[in-house]
Amino acid sequence: LDLVALGTIADVVPLDHNNRILVAEGLRRIRGGRARPGIIALLQVAKKNAVNLSTSDLAFGVGPRLNAAGRLDDMTTGIECLLTDSDSDAHRLALQLDGMNQDRRQIESEMRDQAFESLANLELDAADMPAGLCLFDERWHQGVVGILASRIKEKYHRPVIAFASVEGGEELKGSARSIPGFHIRDALDAVATRNPGLVTKFGGHAMAAGLSLARGDFERFSEAFAAEAARQLSAAQLQAMVESDGEVSADFMTLEAAQVLRSAGPWGQEFPEPLFDGKFILRDSRVLADKHLKMVLSPESEPGKLIDAIAFNVDEDAWPAVDASRIELVFRLDVNEYRNSLNLQLLVERILGSE
């Protein structure tokens, strides 16, 4: 059940009634110290406490380290880590996976910078931006283009396909990510039908897909994909919409409330954790590792109350102004564990604005 829980969460499987039961039992097994050595070792290198394990620890701590092996090399190391009965072998393999994940992050960061630079060089404003984006760079790693497409989609809120060249150079492989209202696999089918021979092969589902095409057909495909996206998507659909469960009072922003929400899980795909919005006084902020924003906030309704908050992987364009004194956020209540101490922390999903 520990492997079932990990696979269900890491592969973003919908948490229907039966899957929630399986994940809950798997989490209970891991928290009780009865997990496979590989899972325990991966949690250790990710600096996650198995006793207080949550689904987000599996999704963002363990999952990426396992996936890194398949993205950069092959999945053998990850499989061996999960199957071994030896604690020492599990720890050794987990360290290898952690190193691969650090390499993946570096590659992804460089690719993201290159993609944003390419888009900036086009000098497109919101009105000129194609409804569907296709990007390719000779330097990009085939195993990381899916993550890159996701990052660009999040920034520009439109379907994105990122391509990398296959060894030999005459073929491109692309990874596509979409937005609600645009079935990416069906869109690729429509492009292929209207342009026989353009797409070598493709497959996927509503929100993600993969495809191959000849290198010389990239420009023609990009135009055809952008046209198909424009046919299907309205201007309103290309505007990101943030849905939350509403505002919460300052009295509800407590460690106890965060712990209650955590215990009400497991949360995951199609059973999301409650998401709130609110306006705060920005007391302090600093950037960690050039990409995470750490803040100290006070609810506008209770200026004397101080609350820690963190936003991971924040786009620089969304950072509050240097002289900002107020900020509006969409967030989750989170339990932050540091040096055996538990504290309330707001896990920021989106910065709506600052002034």
CATH fold for domain 250-354: OB fold (Dihydrolipoamide Acetyltransferase, E2P) (2.40.50)
Strands 208-214 and 292-299: unpaired
Q: What single-letter DSSP state applies at residue 58?
A: I
Which has the closest alpha carbon to 199: 172, 177, 176, 232?
172
Which has the closest alpha carbon to 153: 218, 215, 233?
233
Is the predicted pLDDT of residue 216 greater than 90, yes or no? yes
Is the predicted pLDDT of residue 287 greater than 80, yes or no? yes
The pLDDT, as a whole number, for residue 123 is: 62
The CATH number of the domain covering residues in 2-103: 3.90.1640.30
Nearest-10 crossing angle of helices 37-45, 87-121: 50
* Other Cβ atoms closer than 10 A to 180: 10
Is the predicted pLDDT of residue 127 greater than 80, yes or no? no
Strand partners, 342: 337
CA atoms within 13 A on the CB side of 312: 6
Strands 292-299 and 307-311: antiparallel
Summarize the confidence of residues 17-34 as an average pLDDT.
96
In sequence order, what are the residues at sequence separation of 6 or more whose Cβ sits closer than 8 angstroms to the Cβ of residue 67?
Answer: 10, 78
C-alpha to C-alpha distance for 284 and 132, rounded to whole angstroms: 38
3-state DSSP call for residue 49?
Answer: coil
The pLDDT, as a whole number, for residue 314 is: 78
Residue 68: enclosing H or E segment and its boundaries? helix 63-72
Instruction: Tell me where in the chain the CATH 2.40.50.460 domain(s) lie.
Output: 250-354
Q: Rank 106-115, 126-135, 186-195, 234-243 by mean pLDDT and report only the highest.
A: 186-195
Single-letter residue type at 262: R
The pLDDT, as a whole number, for residue 241 is: 87
Is the predicted pLDDT of residue 136 greater than 70, yes or no? yes
Q: What is the pLDDT of residues 106-115, one digit of tens each?
A: 998 899 888 8
Residue 331: enclosing H or E segment and its boundaries? strand 326-338
CATH fold for domain 124-232: Diaminopimelate Epimerase; Chain A, domain 1 (3.10.310)
C-alpha to C-alpha distance for 314 and 349, rounded to whole angstroms: 9
How far lies 167's CA from each of 69, 85, 173, 215, in Å? 19, 37, 10, 12
The pLDDT, as a whole number, for residue 318 is: 65
Instruction: Tell me where in the chain the CATH 3.90.1640.30 domain(s) lie.
Output: 2-103
3-state DSSP call for residue 55?
Answer: helix
CB 221 within 8 A of CB 194: no
Q: What is the pLDDT of residues 78-99, one digit of tens each?
A: 999 999 999 999 999 999 999 9
CB 37 within 8 A of CB 85: yes
